[in-house]
Amino acid sequence: MIKINENYLKLQASYLFSDIAKRVADFQAANPQMEVIKLGIGDVTRCLPKACIDAFHKAVDEMADDRTFRGYGPEQGYPFLREKIAANDFQDRGADISADEIFISDGAKCDSGNIQEIFSSNIRIALPDPVYPVYLDTNVMAGRTGGFKDGRYEGVYYLDSTRDNGFIPQLPKEPVDLIYLCFPNNPTGAAISKDKLQQWVDYARENKALILYDAAYEAFIRDDSLPRSIYEINGAKEVAIEIRSFSKSAGFTGIRCGYVVIPKTCIAYDDKGSKHGLHSLWNRRHTTKFNGVSYPVQRAAEAVYSQEGKQQCKERIDHYLRNARLIRNEMTALGYECTGGDNSPYIWVDGKTDSWSFFDEMLEKAGVVCTPGAGFGKCGQGYIRISAFNSFENVKKAMSRIREALG
């Protein structure tokens, strides 16, 4: 008899963003005259940078000629891209990461969901609350949690991120093995300082734990004192894996490209306490289950690091940060306490009411889609997340509608 993975039965009914998309579609069907402005899911609206498009076209043309055609590429990614990443994203910032410690992938969502496969099912995970749901749901699927009770999964150590701690969680008070951190944070938009991140690295080293550091939003950091990579922190290369994405920095949400960094010095233990390098484990997993990102997409990603590519990406991020500033200023002027929006495309708004009711009110009265904070965890209750990914005109229009509806 074929049997299911019963861990799936512990999951909440549907993935957060699918649930929201359905509610918005139902609302639009019932109110066809209403033009809805989407500031919900963090999906970019600006087109790909010209430098990337040119490289993309050129690579597609290469595929049309037997002499330049490429079939299977290296599963870990082409050296031309891995070398650019190592030099620009790490070595230029003083982080000693080499090209062969980088694994190109089809995006940070897949990487952050897949990476847990190389760890024992008996480890204890620590997750921020609120949290990007992928970290949690993939561990539920893998059987690392108990059932869902009072808004939380049993067996998980939740790292509360609240107004009281400035949305930067405290170190765990009980032993944990795998720690998920994301900065600038999704959903709160909070950014971590080097000193605070050093405390986490020190904790991981002292407790033989591992940090999974999601830096998908690092390109939004404008405060130079903040770390863009965990490898800017002393000792991180033994205890941290970093996940990055071209989605939000270069508009790759639709064409898919990201990467994972696993330093060769990064280790975990077997049941007998012997050390094992995680780089070779992930390499084994990656080469078995993945055939690499397409050649044209990797050429487009490489162009992000050209002079023009850097300029065009920066211009896009400046655009979203301008939107973020407007959203934060407007919501603050309406009397709502806000976090994020300065080094992040997300603004975390304390609505002081039930998150889903606030979501409904924004949609029904202003025709604006946001994301209810409660969808990211218990500590998100009362909050909404507003995303800055849209045109400036739409954000201005959304803010004026919100002012009218809620002001």
Q: Which is nearer to ligand MLT, 176 or 255 (CB)?
A: 255
Q: Which stretch binds ligand MLT (CB under 6 A): 38-46, 81-89, 145-153, 360-368?
A: 38-46
Please name the residue ranges forming H helices in 15-73: 16-30, 50-62
Query: Contacts with ligand MLT in 107-136 (CB under 6 A)?
Result: 109, 132
Q: CB nearest ligand MLT: which residue?
A: 42
Q: For residues 16 and 384, what is the distance between their CA atoms, to the nearest angstrom?
A: 13
Binding-residue total with ligand MLT (CB under 6 A): 6
Nearest Cα to Cα of residue 173 among 148, 207, 123, 150: 207
User: Residues 41, 142, 334, 406: which binds ligand MLT (CB under 6 A)?
Assistant: 41
**Does 144 sit near ligand MLT (CB under 6 A)?**
no
What the block records as the tokens of 151 is 């808004």
Binding map of ligand MLT across residues 6-35, x = CB under 6 A, - = no contact: ------------------------------
The dihedrals phi and psi of 181, each to the nearest 5 degrees, come to -130, 145
Q: Which stretch binds ligand MLT (CB under 6 A): 37-45, 201-209, 263-271, 362-370?
A: 37-45
Query: Contacts with ligand MLT in 59-98 (CB under 6 A)?
Result: none
Output the CA–CA distances (angstroms, integers) from residue 349 to 81, 139, 165, 330, 370, in the order listed. Answer: 38, 28, 16, 11, 10
Q: Which residue has the tokens 């009072």?
A: 150
Q: Which is nearer to ligand MLT, 132 or 213 (CB)?
A: 132
Q: Which residues pair with 348 in a beta bridge?
A: 339, 385
**Minimum separation from the CB atom of position 43 to ligand MLT (A):** 6
**Does 42 sit near ligand MLT (CB under 6 A)?**
yes
Reduce the DSSP state of residue 369 to 3 states and report it.
strand
Q: For residues 353 and 381, what is the distance between their CA atoms, to the nearest angstrom?
A: 8
**Does 344 sit near ligand MLT (CB under 6 A)?**
no
**Does 186 sit near ligand MLT (CB under 6 A)?**
yes
**Minimum separation from the CB atom of position 173 to ligand MLT (A):** 28
Q: For residues 43 and 187, what is the distance between their CA atoms, to the nearest angstrom?
A: 13
Q: Which residues contact 93 (CB under 8 A, 6 or more apart)?
A: 228, 229, 232
Q: Which residues bind ligand MLT (CB under 6 A)?
A: 41-43, 109, 132, 186
